[in-house]
Structure formats: structure tokens, C-alpha cells
Structure 1
Amino acid sequence: MLYHVRMDVRLPPDLDPAERTDIIAREKAYSQRLQREGKWPQLWRIAGEYANFSILDVADHDELHTLLSGLPLFPYMDIEVTPLATHPSKVMG
């Protein structure tokens, strides 16, 4: 199943700099592993914001929830999920 996901990151301004560096490095490693596995085929930065639009390709809602809640930045994110369906006018090829 495909999902369009918007993730807005809201790190606390008083977060310890070492903790910030660590959590961002763990986030990058986690997300890149999911990209290599094909579960996160699209990742786009939203210009001017600490946010992204992503397309995730997972088996079901439960897998999506597990994947998102496993993000190291998850406690600091506002996440909006939209399930996607094939449009009837899409040219299949």
C-alpha cells in the first residue's frame, strides 16, 4: 500500500546539542535503510521548513505505524498520513 506522509520536525530549542546530533544521525541511518529496502521510495524536503513529503510503500496500516513510530525523531514530529489509491485515469505501463 502506498501512503503520502508529511512529517514536520519540532525539536525543542533547549535540546542538548550532543543529543540532537545523535538523534539526527540515527534518523538518517534508519530512513536510509528503509529507502534501500524499498519501503521509502520517495523523500522530498519542503523548502524552507524542517519537514518532508514522503511516499511510503508498505504492506498495511500496521506496518506503516511501526515504521513511523520507529523513527528516532518520532517524539518530535507532527505527522499527517494520506493513504493512496490508483487513479482510474492513470496510464498503466
Structure 2
Amino acid sequence: MLFLVRMDVQVPHDLPADAFEEIKAREKAYSQDLQRQGKWQALYRVVGEYANYSVFDVESNDELHTLLSALPLFRYMKLHVTPLAKHPSSIR
């Protein structure tokens, strides 16, 4: 199942810089592992925002929820999930 996910990160201003750097390092490692597994198919930054669009290929809604809620930055994110289906005019 394919999903388009917009992730908007809203980090509290009072979060210590060293704690934020540690969270970002864990986030990067986790996201890259999911990309290597083929579950996180694409990751695009939104220009001028602390946000991204990502494409996930997972078995179920529950699997997507589990993966997203395990993101180290999850507690600071606003997420919008859109299920995707193959378009009949797509050549891929």
C-alpha cells in the first residue's frame, strides 16, 4: 500500500539544542534504515519550511502508523497521510 505523508516539524523553542541534535541523529538513522528496507520510498524537503513529503510502501495502515509513531521526532510532528492508488494513465 502506498501512502503520501506530509510531515511538519514543530520543535518547542525551549528544547535544549543538544537534546534536539541527538533526536535528529536518531531520526536520520531510523529514516535511512526504513529507506534501505524499501518501506520509505521517497523523501522530499519542502523548500523554506521544516517539513517534508514522503512516500511509504507498507503492508497496512497499522504498519504505517507503527513506523510513523516510532519516529524520534513524532511527538513534534503534525502529519497528514494520503492513501495512494495507481493512476490508469501511469506508464510505471
Whether TM-score is above 0.5 comes out as yes
Q: What is the aligned-residue identity percentage?
A: 62
Unaligned runs of 5+ in 2: none
Q: Secondary structure at the match of 2:24?
A: helix
Unaligned runs of 5+ in 1: none
Q: Which residue of 2 aligns with 1:10?
A: 10
User: How far has the Cα of 1:91 moved from its partner?
Assistant: 2.1
Q: Which residue of 1 aligns with 2:27?
A: 27
Between the two proteins, the alignment pairs up a number of residues equal to: 92
Q: Which residue of 2 aligns with 1:75?
A: 75
User: How far has the Cα of 1:45 moved from its partner?
Assistant: 0.3
The runs of at least 4 consecutive aligned structure 1 residues that moved more than 3 Å come to none
- TM-score, normalized by length of structure 2? 0.97
Distance in 2 between the 1:16 and 1:89 partners? 49
Structural mapping, 1:36-75, within 5 Å:
36-75=36-75
User: How far has the Cα of 1:41 moved from its partner?
Assistant: 1.2
CA RMSD of aligned residues (A): 0.7
Q: Secondary structure at the match of 1:90?
A: coil
1:11-61 Cα deviation digits (max 9, x unpaired):
001101111011000000000000010001100000000000000000010
The letter for the 2-side match of 1:34 is L
1:53-87 Cα deviation digits (max 9, x unpaired):
00000001000000000000000000000000011
